[in-house]
Amino acid sequence: MKKRRNFIFYFLIFLMVLQGINVKLCAQSLQQKITVEMKNQPLKYGLDQIGKLSGFRMNYSIPAVSAYQNINLSKELRTVAATLNLLLTNTNLTYNVDNDKIIIVSKPESRSQLNGMVASVLQNNQAYGVVTDLENNPLAGVSVRLKDTEIGAFTDVDGKFTFSLPAEKTNFVLVFTFIGMKTQEVLWSDKIQNIVMEENINFLEDVIVTGIFKKKKSSYTGAVKVISDEDLDMFRGRNIFTTIKNIDPSFNIIENNNWGADPNRLPEIQIRGAGNLPALNQLQEQTSSGLNTPLIILNGFETTLQRMMDLNDQEISSISILKDGAATSLYGSRGANGIIVITTKEPEVGKLRMSVRSEINVSLPDLTSYDLLNSRDKLELERLSGYYESTTKDAAANILLQQYYNKVLAEVAKGVNTDWLAKPLRTGLDQTHNLKLEGGDRIFQYALTAQYKDVQGVMKGSGRSTFNGGIDLAYRHKKLLFRNYLSVGNTTTAESPFGSFSKYAELNPYWKPYDENGKLMRFFSPYEQNFLMQTGDVRFNGPYPNPMYDATLNTYNTTETTSIINNFSIEWKPLEELFFRGSAAITNDITNSDNFKPAKHSDFAGYSDADLFRKGSYAYSSGKTFNYAISLSANYSKLIAEKHSLFAGVNFDVTQNKGYSYNILAEGFPDESIDFLGMAFQYQNNSGPTGSESTIRRIGVLGNANYVYDNRFLVDISYRIDGASLYGANNRFAPFWSAGTGWNLHNEPFIKNNLKFVDRLKVRISYGTTGSQNFNAYQSRATYRYYMNDRYNMWMGAYQIALGNEDLEWQKRNKLNVGVEVGIFDSRFVLEADIYKEKTSNLLSNLELPYSNGFSEFTENIGKLENSGFELSGTYWILRNTKRRLTWSLSGSISHDRDRIVELSEALRTANERLALQGGSSPNRIFREGDSQSTIYVVQSLGIDPSTGRELFLTKDGEVTYTWNAADRVAVGNLLPKLRGNFSTMFRYKDFSLNLSFGYRSGGQIYNSTLRDKVEVNNKLLNVDARVFTERWKQPGDKAFFKGINEYSMAVATSRFVQDENTFTCQNASLRYDAKAKKWLDAIGAQYLAITASTGELFYLSTVKRERGTGYPYTRQFLLSLSLMF
Amino acid sequence: MKKIIFAITLLLSSLLYTGCSDWLDVRPQSEIPKDNLFETENGFRSALTGAYIRLKGGSLYGSALMWGDIEYMACNWYNTSSSNTTITQLQNCDYTNAGVISKIDAIYENLYKVIADVNSILEVIDSKKSVFSQGGYEMIKGEALTIRAFAHFDVLRLFGPVPNNVGESVLFPYVTEVTKDIHNAMTYQEYSQAIINDLDMASTLLKTVDPIMTYSIADLKDLTGGDFISDDNYIGYRNIRMNYYASVALKARVCLWLSASDAGNKVKAAQCAQEVIDAKDHTGTPTFRLGVEADRVAGDYTFSAEHIMTLSVYNLNTTAQNLFGETGPYVRYDFNVTDGFYYLNNLFPVAERVSDIRWINMWSYRTASGQTQYVMYKKFIQNVDEYKRILQVPILRLSEMYLVLAECAETKTDAETVYKAFCDKKGIPFTGFSSADWVTDRRNKILREYVREFYAEGQTFFTYKRLNVTSLPTMWTPGVSFSGSAAKYVAPKPLREIEYHNK
């Protein structure tokens, strides 16, 4: 390669010497019009004619032109250039113009076709060159720009570019950018530029986007995981959250077995574990959702989990997950739970380009975890349970039951064995279609995007469909860049009218949904009240309703959200080192939800005649949020004396989040066709309209400085002051800071010289303080509310809601992180490890006050938590041959997190001890100092007594007893797995890539509620797990895991149901084909094509056998997508 | 130069800081910050109304301290459900029972909540005098002070010592501030003095502005016609608020209580009682009068003409039907002997009750099958005619003033004069106090009057406690027998209070 360049260079020098030094471009003369006519004449004749008519001197070698003899040219007025072009078509010749000479030369080979051009532009301060890919195919549409200016051009179809360079400068750096290729910076020298662009593999790794400042990874001291758009594509999961989880295990989705793969359920997300405690009222309700949700930043501004789920994922350029103190303290009071920074793609400079992407996803319900009885066994189980013959009943009753048994038996004999699980389910067919138009010149760039995403849930009638549209405009004027990004999204969700999946999982298989005439039955038959009533369960107060009937009614539960985001920014770069940015964002969300159930709905089956008018309900809610944010930042970076690299940035931001919602519950809809809220008979019993309102204002000033010495030592410090309306008047402002340092050992001579195989060895340590704001907007305030349902005579009264706390302040989390980054053997093996410890203090908690204070409690900053853990991730390239484009890599990651409650407030402690004395069938959450939040407290079980079939318990004092006592509960497990992680392998050959990714969880425990609800169930009138039939104790001497089949003691929280959980899942398998710059692509006018086939959640292996997805089943997904760029 | 830059930076940042602070001070839409509420007179009125609403709530005078828990403790009601052991233990005043404790704690908690309600007003009212219209400041502050004294006095009556043996130990805090800081408990003397101080201050303030000093109750209810005309109805309806006479009558009640340990208070009690009895409007008509037979006939069973202070309960009609009607919980157990009642005959002797307006037509057996052994009480049952209803529960009545006066009278004659006036109006035969030990006889007669007069008004238990009654005349109480002792009379302070005050 080098040789060839040299050759071309010398050839050019030769030409120049030949033609004289003073070269000037004479385009005008080439534009003069002449008429040359040729009829089967030699080329030489034509060239001579041109010389004669135009006055140019024609230079050519006779042997070169004599090869072309029979040329025809029609008699027409043409420019000199056009005549020449016509004459030279289909020859291997071309021409150069040199002052008054036209030189006919051989065409360069495709690799060196520059020659002609070079001759014409050299010495005229022109940049020029050819851009190709690794296989020598010219790349068209590559943007070539002079660094930090708007000067530049695009390559043409032959991959060529030329443009003028400013005269006043030297040392030009050209920047080559092309979609899907690594951006290159090349120092322009007057040599011929033949640029080979490489495909972009993880091109983002080098830059960390914090949402406020962009940082080079090599100079950064924080712990951040950067996910590229390509990663998102290759690790595709059910939604963006599962995708991220597939990539980074420290991003944890708290599994909710009830909601399974419900497309409308927002998951609970934690980064590096839970660092908050629920408030007293949440503790009583046993909820804590949303407390640990990380902060989500979209293009520099805060957004919601909901919006993130509905985002046009094709528009995501990168996602950074900020974890440690150095990274998260940039966000001060909001950074404690970690931060997800999403950046969308900027419009690319170039000719109008259209990208299309379509995706089809097939979801199949995964019911492998269900093991229910068939109709014959179920009936037999009922018989064994004594439901059809009882010594305590009189003969007449027993006869009735026997008759009923015979009826059911007849059904079974007829072969009735309904697969109820299949009834509410379907194969979900999801579609996503994306269209993007983009392009523009150096001054003005634009991108228009549209996306339609329709997700069908596997429960019939459930789904989520989203439309996203976006307009992204950028305008450059001198050193200013204006950008406006407008995004409009509309999401409609629908819940299945079939109701909860669990209702179907418990239906008896000997019942059938349709009668003999094929009509849907409202109640199941045969029916015998004496049979259903014998367990005294109120659900069986009458014939058992068919839940499928509700789905035939006009009933719906839908939510529509419209979201508009507009971000505007101005960037100014007055100097190479100095950069200013100002941006403003507005977000407007409007949500409406409608939930209608007509009078015939099974919900109202139990209403008495007096409540006739109350049958049928409509829940309507409407809400709006309007947020604005303004952010101003300036940063300065400079390299001093080649060794000292300095970065300093300041940022100022102001935010207001304002929102309200109204809820109306109306009832009395006698007819299903009248589903108009205005036609309701009344508000729901004893209720009226309700609503909520909140306004939160925030202000923050941030300073950040980064110093790198000789690319070896790094120091990074930041300081932020945050003010928020949430906090007490006396503590409106709080400071946050972080400091981090790193050492690039690979740049040290002793490594460089002695351990040559090490190309990257960086150690870093950071410490930072952050806060979290997960509480009510007005919690700190002493506020009054009017009595809404009471009055005194004719006067309205007001009461003080809470005492208020003017000293209320931020929950603080201090984070310590130590990390190491290793790359050896030319980055064949890379490893990144982090170990962290986080301490949360000032936890918001309720403090009990004596009654004489007039308020029984008071919100105060009390409570301490501690989290610690480690993360490890590495990649090994088994094969890496860029030339042959053959790579094979293996990646793996492990994460571990443990939390410990250090201190609880008095009130929380008492509330917990009260909870600890309340019994129940499931272990309620109890917080104890010294233990983890997710500890499982149950009574120690000694198993089933073989002689009686009853369970034996161990009391706290070590005594053996049959009696279960809530006070005997001890910690027997932890819901948190000890280790959680992923591993994946990626194989690429040429345009094909194959990716397999697996996830695992190990070392945690689970309270298996299936065993309680479906195996040890007392009431066996409905269907149960097959293990009831096979594994329960039946007679003395049986060594069984489950208590006696006719043992009716209450279900209790016992250690027997706490099982070790180890799981292994195939998260994703995908095969992709990419095509760029192919001839056949040109034929269809396309530049790029990609086809991906992938599967999600192909299998799930677990040591715990339980029903997964009780309220909504889990799914397996099969996806096919096609991307095209024109 | 550097100094100038420094000065400018300092100036700018301080401007920014204060600007930001204001901007960060968000005003909620559905709630009113405390500071904003007390920017207007209307805000003060709303806060005060809030205190009255809490007073009429179920834990206080809407039930527990009116006809509910406190009447069970006096054994005035029968427990119709033997499985409801909490009620049985409440009748026994068994303060070790968790159910009883939670009821008692709720009373304590809510009394202090009312105190916090008015303290929020009292803390700022002096600095906000300018927001009030003429007389508004005095009226609201006077009422708030009276409520504060009233609630504290009820804490003392229920949780304090038997008044003839008060001791020196600290009892409870007299709270005058709304804060998270723990309040210090006071001794009986300090505490009772604080009550008197608040009442004195209240009367002083109210005396100058309260229209009840000039106008009749009827005038104050009809603001568009009659003698008193105003477009501001908050100034009217004085008898459903802590008016001037309420503060005086309350002082009479308090002084009578205090006289058990310090006899000197009897004079003050008598003075106050006399002042209320003598109250006249500008036409010379007494502001309050004792109820008469005609009132009863008209369905005014609580004798609203006697109400010095009464709580307005707009939904009393339904509440009373639910509580005292055919299916309500509040009944007496009895059986039909020749004179109609076995137990009630002891409280209302057959010979005396012929024209007793507190007897006639007030008690009746239930008619539903299986319920006929229960006797219902009609006091709060309202007239079928919506416009004739008296939707009020009395807190302070004129008859109490007569009884205070009789009890505080120095001489037998004085006592008998007052008692006779009382008997005449109530329709019972007057018999003079026994000459052998007229003081004891007066005590016994007045004790019985308290029970008969204030049945289901929450005063019986406190009267027993004040007079340290150890046993009652035979069969007053229905199906359960009452016996008094300090252990029963002194309800324990909530455990939560003890925990905090011991720290």
Question: Can you tell me the distance from the alpha carbon of B260 to that of B253, in angstroms, rounded to the nearest whole number?
Answer: 12
The reported pLDDT for the residue numbered A60 is 77
Q: Which range, of A247-256, A484-493, A529-538, B384-393, averages the lowest pLDDT?
A: A529-538
Does residue B61 lie in a domain region?
A: yes
| Secondary structure (DSSP) of A712-753 | TEEEEEEEEEEEETTS-GGG-EEEEEEEEEEEEGGGSHHHHH
Question: Can you tell me the distance from the alpha carbon of B28 to that of B37, in angstroms, rounded to the nearest whole number?
Answer: 12
pLDDT for residue A19 is more than 50: no
Range with top average pLDDT, A219-228, A570-579, A723-732, A866-875: A866-875
Q: Which of residues 589-608 of A touch B (CB under 8 A)?
A: none
Range of the domain at B361: 294-469
| Among the listed residues A104, A107, A102, the one whose alpha carbon sits nearest the alpha carbon of residue A80 | A102
| pLDDT single digits (tens) A561-584 | 999 999 999 999 888 788 899 999
Question: A808 — contact with chain B (CB < 8 Å)?
Answer: no
Q: Which range, of A162-166, A237-241, B228-232, B282-286, averages the lowest pLDDT?
A: A162-166
One domain, residues B17 and B82: yes
- In this structure, the dihedral spanned by the alpha carbons of residues A318, A321, A324 and A328, taken in order and rounded to 10 degrees, is 80
One domain, residues B414 and B391: yes
Q: Helix (H, G, I), strand (E, B), or coil: what is residue A564?
A: strand
Distance of CA A769 to the CA centre of its chain: 26
One domain, residues B463 and B482: no
The reported pLDDT for the residue numbered A923 is 75
The reported pLDDT for the residue numbered B395 is 94
Percent above pLDDT 90 for chain A = 22
Question: A777 — contact with chain B (CB < 8 Å)?
Answer: yes
| pLDDT single digits (tens) A286-306 | 445 577 888 999 888 888 888
Count CB pairs under 8 A between chains A and B.
Answer: 159
**Most B CBs within 10 Å: which of A333, A792, A905, as the mutation test of the B interface?**
A792
One domain, residues B463 and B476: no
One domain, residues B488 and B452: no
Distance (Å) from the alpha carbon of B455 to chain A's nearest alpha carbon: 24
Does residue B243 lie in a domain region?
A: no
Give the pLDDT mean for A104-108: 67
Query: Domain with B342 in it: what CATH number?
Result: 1.25.40.390
The reported pLDDT for the residue numbered B105 is 93
Contacts of A804 in chain B (CB under 8 A): 34
Does residue B275 lie in a domain region?
A: no
One domain, residues B463 and B502: no
| Among the listed residues B305, B308, B312, B307, the one whose alpha carbon sits nearest the alpha carbon of residue B249 | B308
The reported pLDDT for the residue numbered A16 is 44
One domain, residues B310 and B443: yes
Q: Which is more confident, A232 or A846?
A: A232
The segments of chain B whose pLDDT lies below 50 read 502-503
Distance (Å) from the alpha carbon of A1025 to chain B's nearest alpha carbon: 41
Question: A835 — contact with chain B (CB < 8 Å)?
Answer: no
One domain, residues B349 and B498: no
Mean pLDDT, chain A, integer: 83
pLDDT band (50, 70, 90) for residue A135: low
Q: Helix (H, G, I), strand (E, B), or coil: what is residue A930?
A: coil
Range with top average pLDDT, A227-231, A501-505, A853-857, B173-177: B173-177
| H or E element, residue B450 | helix B438-453
The reported pLDDT for the residue numbered B10 is 66
One domain, residues B502 and B441: no
Q: Which of residues 942-971 of A touch B (CB under 8 A)?
A: none
Contacts of A795 in chain B (CB under 8 A): 45-46, 49, 234
The reported pLDDT for the residue numbered A179 is 65
| pLDDT single digits (tens) A362-419 | 999 999 888 888 888 888 888 888 888 877 777 887 888 888 899 889 989 988 899 9
Question: A691 — contact with chain B (CB < 8 Å)?
Answer: yes
pLDDT for residue A1050 is more than 90: no
The reported pLDDT for the residue numbered A190 is 62
The reported pLDDT for the residue numbered A741 is 92
| pLDDT single digits (tens) A880-927 | 877 778 889 999 999 999 989 888 877 777 777 777 776 666 777 788
Q: Which token pair is A351?
A: 């000719």
AA letter at A474: A
| Among the listed residues A1013, A1041, A1034, A1010, the one whose alpha carbon sits nearest the alpha carbon of residue A1108 | A1010
Question: Can you tell me the distance from the alpha carbon of B302 to that of A616, in angstroms, rounded to the nearest whole number?
Answer: 45
| pLDDT single digits (tens) A977-1035 | 999 999 999 998 888 989 999 999 999 998 888 888 888 887 888 888 888 888 888 88
First to last CA, chain B: 58
pLDDT for residue A624 is more than 80: yes
The CA-based angle A996-A1108-A539, given to 5 degrees, is: 165
Does residue B164 lie in a domain region?
A: yes
Does residue B397 lie in a domain region?
A: yes
Q: B47, A790: Cβ pair inside 8 Å?
A: no
Question: A930 — contact with chain B (CB < 8 Å)?
Answer: no
B340 and B348 Cβ atoms separated by less than 8 Å? no
| pLDDT single digits (tens) A699-736 | 999 999 989 888 889 899 999 998 888 888 888 888 99
| H or E element, residue A668 | none
The reported pLDDT for the residue numbered A281 is 60
pLDDT for residue A124 is more than 60: no
Contacts of B183 in chain A (CB under 8 A): 850, 852-853
Question: A778 — contact with chain B (CB < 8 Å)?
Answer: yes
Closest partner residue to B20 among A723, A787, A797, by Cβ?
Answer: A723
One domain, residues B443 and B499: no
A615 and A607 Cβ atoms separated by less than 8 Å? yes
Give the pLDDT mean for A229-253: 86
One domain, residues B66 and B108: yes
Q: Which is more confident, A543 or A541?
A: A543
pLDDT band (50, 70, 90) for residue A642: confident
**Most A CBs within 10 Å: which of B25, B46, B315, as the mutation test of the A interface?**
B46
Contacts of A784 in chain B (CB under 8 A): 31-34, 37, 46-47, 50
Distance (Å) from the alpha carbon of B184 to chain A's nearest alpha carbon: 10
Q: Which of residues 10-69 of A touch B (CB under 8 A)?
A: none
Q: B46, A798: Cβ pair inside 8 Å?
A: yes
**Those residues with Cβ within 8 angstroms of residue A80's Cβ, 6 or more apart along the chain or in another chain:** A29, A30, A31, A32, A33, A34, A50, A54, A56, A102
AA letter at A1030: T
B21 and B69 Cβ atoms separated by less than 8 Å? no
| pLDDT single digits (tens) A315-354 | 888 899 998 888 888 888 888 889 999 988 888 777 788 8
The reported pLDDT for the residue numbered B16 is 64
The reported pLDDT for the residue numbered A112 is 42
pLDDT band (50, 70, 90) for residue A756: confident
The reported pLDDT for the residue numbered A14 is 47
Q: A852, B175: Cβ pair inside 8 Å?
A: yes
| pLDDT single digits (tens) A500-514 | 898 898 899 999 889
One domain, residues B494 and B356: no
pLDDT for residue A111 is more than 70: no
Give the pLDDT mean for A1044-1061: 84
Does residue B395 lie in a domain region?
A: yes
Q: A854, B43: Cβ pair inside 8 Å?
A: no
Give the pLDDT mean for A592-611: 84
Question: Can you tell me the distance from the alpha carbon of A188 to that of A169, in angstroms, rounded to the nearest whole number?
Answer: 12
Question: Can you tell me the distance from the alpha carbon of A999 to that of B109, in angstroms, rounded to the nearest whole number?
Answer: 55
Total domains in the fold of chain B: 2
- The residue assigned the tokens 């101005």 is A570
Q: A797, B494: Cβ pair inside 8 Å?
A: no
Does residue B255 lie in a domain region?
A: no
Closest partner residue to A697 among B26, B32, B52, by Cβ?
Answer: B26
Does residue B242 lie in a domain region?
A: no
Tell me the CA distances in angstroms from A955 to A888, A948, A961, one per residue in order. 57, 19, 7
